[in-house]
Amino acid sequence: MEDVLRIAIQKSGRLSEKSLEIIRNCGIDFQTDSRVLKEKASNFPIEFLFVRDDDIPTYIKDGVADIGIVGRNEFDESGYYLDVVKDLKFAKCRLSIAVPNDFQYEDLSSLNGKRIATSYPGIMMKILREKGVDATPVVVSGSVEITPQVGIADAICDIVSTGTTLKMNGLREAEAIYYSSAIMIARPGFTNSVSKKNGILTRLLERIEAVELAKNKKYILFNLPAEKLDEAARIIGGMKSPTVTPLMDKSWLSVQSVVSEDRFWSVFEDLKAIGAEGILVMNIEKMTE
Ligand code: PRT
Ligand code: ZN
């Protein structure tokens, strides 16, 4: 029991699927039944706690779970002092000020004396105070976008991703004031502790990083006239030398290497231009540096 890492994950919502996918891509097997609260992995010492995202920071603070995956916005709004172990870079969104189309908005100072509806009063007021804006928060837990129409707020401060919800409610995104993505959090000091649980977390993070590293890389394999090897190595560049295998026909070589996705097409074209043939490209599942 002691030596199981407990991870709190959103039960059902925007973070759930991707959070589980990250763990599953680490080769960790488990059942997912949305009706259960707890679930143990079958081949790794980890236990899942499926809860509402709002509760995740509290569970970590109280030690109910060791780590959790939550939106940075929920974490910051909780105001708890916890460690951010890793930015998982999904569920990206922003917290924006949005105003009715007829609102004369110039900058944040246009909000002086106004009522702003939000579910994130902590984050919003901190930022407004830093900018010297004196506005009144109207705290609502949902349907923030309808508050100007019903007359309880002059503007809103809400999570935006595509902006469709704002448009559908006759609002205009005036200014993004904060950016969020899903993060992994832990109790303060947990990641520095000498404990079996932290050892499990280290193993988990190594696996997550191996998957991340592989995601932006392609494995490339091609045949090349032997005299072009130096040129090919220059084109591929930026890494340890490629693996080179002689072919039966001594004037040709088989070359293998790893190329980052953003450079892939230019590398591909340049290799073709120097006479590379039979270029094979493969996705990499996992990788270490
Ligand atoms: O039930 P539970 O409390 O667990 O879930 P929840 O309903 O509180 O959260 P959920 O699942 O909606 O979101 C979880 C986290 O996803 C949030 O805390 C954010 O960190 C992140 N996230 C990313 C978003 C969005 N994108 C998002 N678009 N959270 C909410 N929205 C909402 C927003 O509130 C607005 O109503 O989507 C609407 C705007 O979307 P667009 O695309 O129309 O701009
Ligand atoms: Zn929630």
Convert the pLDDT of each residue in 170-179 to its tens digit.
999 999 999 9
* CA-closest residue to ligand 1 atom 22: 91
Task: Name residue 154's amino acid.
Answer: D
Cα 16 to Cα 39, 108, 222, 273: the distances in Å are 14, 34, 40, 46
Phi, psi (degrees; rounded to nearest 5) at 3: -95, 40
CA–centroid distance, 234 to ligand 2, in Å, is: 51
**Which residue in 65, 86, 72 sits closest to 22, CA to CA?**
86
CA–centroid distance, 51 to ligand 2, in Å, is: 10
β-strands 182-186, 67-71 pairing: antiparallel
Counting ligands in written order, the one closest to the CA of 159 is: 1
Minimum-distance ligand 1 atom for the alpha carbon of 145: 36
Residues with CB under 6 A from ligand 1: 10, 13-15, 52-54, 71, 73-74, 91, 93, 158-165, 180
Q: Which residues of 256-267 are buried (b: 16+ CB within 10 A; e: fewer)?
A: ebbbeeeeeeeb
Q: What is the pLDDT of residue 101?
A: 95
* CA-closest residue to ligand 1 atom 23: 91
Tell me: pLDDT of 41 over 80: yes
CB 73 within 8 A of CB 122: no
Kindly report the three-state secondary structure assignment for every residue of the chain: CCCCEEEEEECCCCCHHHHHHHHHCCCCCCCCCCCCCEEECCCCCEEEEEECHHHHHHHHHHCCCCEEEEEHHHHHHHCCCCEEEEECCCCCEEEEEEEECCCCCCCHHHHCCCEEEECCHHHHHHHHHHCCCCCEEEECCCCHHHCCCCCCCCEEEEEECCCHHHHHCCEEEEEEEEEECEEEEECCCHHHCCCHHHHHHHHHHHHHHHHHHHHCEEEEEEEEEHHHHHHHHHHHCCCCCCEEEECCCCCEEEEEEEEEHHHHHHHHHHHHHCCCEEEEEEECCCCCC
Q: How confident is the model at residue 238 (pLDDT cuts 50, 70, 90)?
A: low
Cα 8 to Cα 15, 49, 233: the distances in Å are 11, 5, 46
Residue-wise pLDDT for 107-131, tens only, equals: 999 999 999 999 999 999 999 999 9
Q: How confident is the model at residue 287 (pLDDT cuts 50, 70, 90)?
A: confident
Lowest mean pLDDT among 43-47, 237-241, 281-285: 237-241
* CA-closest residue to ligand 1 atom 15: 71
Task: Name residue 39's amino acid.
Answer: E
Distance (Å, whole) CA 88 – CA 25: 14
Mean pLDDT of the region 246-252? 95
CA–centroid distance, 137 to ligand 1, in Å, is: 20
Q: What is the pLDDT of residue 135?
A: 98
CA–centroid distance, 266 to ligand 1, in Å, is: 38
Counting ligands in written order, the one closest to the CA of 11 is: 1
Q: What is the pLDDT of residue 2?
A: 60
Q: What is the pLDDT of residue 239?
A: 55
The pTM (predicted TM-score) of the whole model is: 0.89
CA–centroid distance, 160 to ligand 2, in Å, is: 15
Q: How confident is the model at residue 268 (pLDDT cuts 50, 70, 90)?
A: very high
Percent of the chain with pLDDT over 90: 89
